[in-house]
């Protein structure tokens, strides 16, 4: 079977490999790949900057934004041949820490977790793979190959859940949300904000391409000017990881406002911060700033639910390109109108 592999740590080592069929794994589902979404993490892994091969190997099968079709299911599992399925990315650490033991591997405390297609465990960019039923999430047939958006949606499903849990610390009735970055994560964060009936503003640098229309189509407002010109948001989902922007959104958050950081910063550029002024604002305005990464099972289920409620043409606009497996490298080349390229198997 074909699979996309790379040697983590070594740039441009990725290739389409011919590998043996997956070895028997009793108790697991045998899954046939349908599609793999490509994101910034994949680009980092392929550049050699990130990622880890499974123990005793020097190559890793990539792919974490996954969708497949069950080909064989063990007796007694809730899955059947033909079902659409998404595999969870992270596996709990073997110790396990208290969070992993409680099924909240997204909150792992010791960092010894593994991640399929990223760190220490083969990913889903193979024509066939095994998946443990406990880490498999059913996708409604009506979603079809748009189920490939489940994994990126889990990130914002978790972010929204955590925002609401923090909001429950006091009386809280948020009205206005600011999303920074109109990439796939920002757009999906905006979708979930609109599904909550909130007034959603999305800020990005670009003024053309598909992003402004995708934002408008869900009844949100698109902005490309300075953050400081925007009205104070009760909730911010920062999806860029750009240092200056992170600081700016903390400053404009409304009293009792909650700022969720989801973007991983890159680069080493330093920006001066007046920590005394920021401290004063956070204290006097009861602001909360927190980070959120990864997702556990309940976030996968919430993501499936959110996508099932969304308008299909809008989701089609997020999947900007479908690239056949044979041309997989094309999916990694950024195109000006790209939102989410997907590599299509089969
Ligand atoms: Zn853990």
Q: Please, are residues 131 and 85 in contact by the beta-carbon 8 Å criterion?
A: yes
Q: How many residues does the chain have?
A: 346
Q: What's the pLDDT at 269?
A: 78
* Unique residue bearing structure tokens 């990694």: 332
Is the model's pTM score more than 0.95?
yes
pLDDT band at 336 (very low <50, low <70, confident <90, very high): confident
Model confidence over 186-208: pLDDT tens digits? 999 999 999 999 999 999 999 99
Q: What is the 280 CA–ligand 1 centroid distance (Å)?
A: 34
Model confidence over 130-155: pLDDT tens digits? 999 999 999 999 999 999 999 999 99
Model confidence over 12-68: pLDDT tens digits? 999 999 999 999 999 999 999 999 999 999 999 999 999 999 999 999 999 999 999
Q: What is the 100 CA–ligand 1 centroid distance (Å)?
A: 4
Q: What is the 94 CA–ligand 1 centroid distance (Å)?
A: 8
Q: What is the 296 CA–ligand 1 centroid distance (Å)?
A: 12
Q: What is the 99 CA–ligand 1 centroid distance (Å)?
A: 6
pLDDT at residue 334 tops 90: no
pLDDT at residue 265 tops 80: no
Q: What is the 10 CA–ligand 1 centroid distance (Å)?
A: 28
* Unique residue bearing structure tokens 């925002």: 163
pLDDT at residue 266 tops 80: no
* Unique residue bearing structure tokens 């497996």: 325
Per DSSP, the residues of 220-270 read -EEE-S-GGGSPPPSEEEE-S--HHHHHHHHHHPPTT-EEEE-PPP-S---
Q: What's the pLDDT at 70?
A: 98
Q: What is the 176 CA–ligand 1 centroid distance (Å)?
A: 35
Burial label, 171 (beta-carbon count in 10 A; 0-12, 13-18, 19+): exposed
Among 183, 185, 224, 216, which Cα is nearest to 200's?
216
Model confidence over 296-333: pLDDT tens digits? 999 999 999 999 999 999 999 999 899 999 999 999 98
**E strand map for the chain:** 2-6, 15-18, 29-37, 60-61, 65-72, 84-87, 90-91, 114-116, 120-121, 128-131, 136-139, 176-180, 199-203, 221-223, 235-238, 258-261, 288-291, 319-324, 340-344
Q: What is the 115 CA–ligand 1 centroid distance (Å)?
A: 12
Q: What is the 95 CA–ligand 1 centroid distance (Å)?
A: 7
């Amino acid at each position: 079977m074909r699979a996309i592999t790379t040697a983590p740590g070594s740039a441009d080592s990725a290739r389409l490999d011919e590998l043996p069929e997956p070895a028997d794994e009793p108790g697991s589902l045998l899954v046939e790949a349908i599609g793999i979404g490509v994101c910034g993490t994949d680009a980092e892994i392929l550049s050699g900057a990130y990622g880890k091969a499974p123990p005793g190997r020097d190559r890793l099968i990539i792919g974490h934004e996954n969708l497949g079709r069950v080909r064989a299911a063990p007796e007694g599992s809730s899955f059947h041949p033909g079902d659409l399925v998404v595999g969870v990315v992270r596996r709990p650490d073997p110790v396990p820490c208290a969070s992993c033991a409680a099924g909240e591997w997204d909150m792992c405390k010791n960092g010894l977790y593994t991640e399929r297609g990223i760190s220490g465990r083969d990913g889903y960019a193979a024509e066939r793979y095994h998946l443990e039923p406990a880490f498999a999430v059913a996708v409604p047939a009506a979603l079809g190959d748009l189920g490939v958006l489940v994994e990126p949606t889990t990130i914002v499903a978790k972010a929204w859940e955590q925002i609401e849990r923090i909001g429950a610390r006091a009386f809280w009735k948020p009205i206005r949300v600011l999303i920074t970055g109109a990439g796939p994560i920002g757009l999906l964060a905006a979708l979930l904000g609109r599904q909550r009936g909130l007034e959603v503003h999305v800020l990005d640098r670009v003024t053309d391409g598909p992003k402004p229309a995708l934002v408008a189509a869900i009844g949100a407002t698109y902005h490309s000017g300075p953050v400081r010109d925007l009205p104070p948001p009760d909730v911010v989902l920062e999806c860029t990881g750009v240092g200056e922007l992170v600081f700016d959104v903390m400053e404009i958050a409304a009293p009792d406002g909650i700022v969720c950081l989801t973007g991983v910063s890159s680069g080493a550029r330093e920006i001066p911060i007046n920590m005394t002024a920021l401290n004063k604002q956070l204290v006097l305005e009861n602001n909360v700033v927190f980070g959120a990464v990864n997702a556990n099972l309940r976030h996968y289920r919430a993501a499936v639910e959110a996508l099932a409620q969304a308008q299909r043409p809008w989701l089609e606009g997020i999947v900007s390109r479908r690239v056949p497996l044979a041309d997989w490298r094309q999916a990694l080349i950024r195109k000006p109108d790209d939102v989410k390229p997907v590599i299509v198997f089969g």
